[in-house]
A = this chain, B = another copy of it.
Amino acid sequence: MHSFIELSKLFEEQFNIRHFPLQPETLYDPAQYILGIGGKRIRPVCVLMGNQLFDEIDPDAYHAAAAIELFHNFSLIHDDIMDKAPMRRGMETVHTKYGESTALLAGDAMLVKSYEYLNKIKPAQLQKVLYLFNNTASAVCEGQQLDMDFEKREIVSMDEYEHMITLKTSVLLAASLRLGAILGGAGEGNQQHLYEFGKNLGIAFQVQDDYLDAFGDPGKFGKKPGGDIIANKKTFLMIHAFETAKPGQLGELKLLIKNSPANKVEKVVQIFKECKVDDWAQQLKNKYLQTALKHLEDTAVLSVRKKPLRELAEYLMKRES
């Protein structure tokens, strides 16, 4: 059995190749570029972790893991176009470096490539794997659309936001674990528990991400703090503040959003504190984390085999950057 770190290395060794033909380089170099700027490879490692929970790692799990990582990078390329994001992981985004048309097409080619990897999986498992992968891919598209829709709305409810975040980010983590479990021969019950573990862990991670944007240590947090506040993004924190602020605070919050003064971040964080949004967010994160861990506990395999998944949860929850 391999630790989280060992699995990351094993995956990286297999994945660190050229996945695309040499020609046309105008299409495939951009696709290789985003794969080359790294990322933490958490999702594909989840496939491997979900798989080794039940047996030695099946070679097909590496194919599914590669498909998941390619899908994730496809979605990053296209999301960055839609969000007009200039930078990712400290590097130029694909559309900034190569132009929007090429980025769009390189994303398409990457999505197709993910299906090429899935098609290496043994036929007996292929249909089940594709079914989950397709459903997940559709959900991720829906999540991105809802995110864009919410930007145009003044009010978004907590339920709506949680639903969007679940689709946009959590289901891919959940599906990664479940894909590994399917390929490991897991029964339906265990598949479901692992899916829920991943889903709840993903939401806990997002709560933390939203929290760190407002309350993170600027020296440790990777992104510039307050970015969500400056961009008027709906976050777990902002939505809770809207739902709990007193009339005076609510009026001030709306003015800050409307006028974006120079001290906007400081003022919004102050209202967050007055509304105890920070304590609430920590509790919410813990609620999702505990739900996740309960599902891991309920997964019917020897406790010792779950160690890498507990390590993953710790790693994601201790993250400050």
Given A126-B126, A138-B112, A102 and B27 contact (CB-CB distance below 8 Å):
no
**A102 to B144 CA separation, bound complex (whole angstroms):** 10
Determine, out of A43-51, A127-135, A280-288, A293-301, the stretch whose residues face the partner at the interface: A127-135
Q: Is the interface of A mostly helix, strand, loop or mixed?
A: helix
Chain A stretch 290-311: residues in CB contact (< 8 A) with chain B? none
Those of A94-137 within 8 Å (CB) of chain B: 101-102, 104-105, 107-109, 111-113, 115-116, 118-119, 123-124, 126-127, 130-131, 134, 137
- A145: which of B26, B124, B146 is its contact (CB, 8 Å)? B26
Is B119 in contact with A138, judged by CB distance below 8 angstroms?
no
B112 contacts A134, C-beta separation under 8 Å? yes
**A109/B27 contact (C-beta < 8 A), A119-B131, A126-B126, A134-B116 known:** no
- Is A37 close to B, CB under 8 A? no
Expressed in whole angstroms, the minimum distance between the Cβ of A179 and any Cβ of chain B is 15
Q: List chain B residues, Cβ under 8 A from A109.
A: 138, 141-142
If the complex has contacts A112-B141, A119-B127, are A104 and B104 also in contact, measured as CB distance less than 8 A? yes
**Contact flag A145-B27 (CB < 8 Å), given A119-B130, A119-B134:** yes
In the assembled complex, how far is the CB of residue A195 from the closest CB belonging to chain B, in whole angstroms? 19
Q: Is A155 an interface residue (CB 8 A)?
A: no
Kindly supply a per-residue 1/0 record for chain A positions 136-167, scoring 1 wherever the CB is within 8 Å of any chain B CB and 0 otherwise.
Answer: 01100110111011000000000000000000
Cβ contact within 8 Å between A26 and B130: no
Chain A interface, number of residues (Cβ within 8 angstroms): 36
Chain B residues with Cβ below 8 Å from A268 are none
The digit string for A27-53, where 1 denotes a CB below 8 A from any CB of B, is 100000000000000000000000000
A81 within 8 A of B: yes
A10 on interface, CB distance cutoff 8 Å: no
A78 touching B116 in the complex, CB below 8 Å, given contacts A24-B146, A126-B127: no
Most central of A101, A124, A141 by chain B CB within 10 Å:
A141
Q: Quick one: given A111-B111, A112-B134, A131-B119, are A24 and B142 in contact (CB under 8 Å)?
A: yes
The reply on A82 being an interface residue by CB < 8 A is yes
Contact A24 B149, beta carbon cutoff 8 Å: yes
Q: Give me the interface of A with B, judged by CB distance under 8 Å.
A: 24, 26-27, 78, 81-82, 101-102, 104-105, 107-109, 111-113, 115-116, 118-119, 123-124, 126-127, 130-131, 134, 137-138, 141-142, 144-146, 148-149
Q: What 4 pairs across the A-B complex have the smallest Cβ distances?
A: A27-B145, A82-B101, A112-B137, A109-B141
Provide a sorted-by-A list of 29 A–B residue pairs whose CB atoms are within 8 angstroms: A24-B142, A24-B145, A24-B146, A24-B149, A26-B148, A26-B149, A27-B142, A78-B104, A78-B105, A81-B101, A82-B101, A82-B105, A102-B148, A104-B104, A105-B141, A105-B144, A107-B108, A108-B111, A108-B141, A112-B134, A112-B141, A113-B138, A115-B115, A115-B130, A115-B137, A118-B130, A119-B131, A119-B134, A123-B127
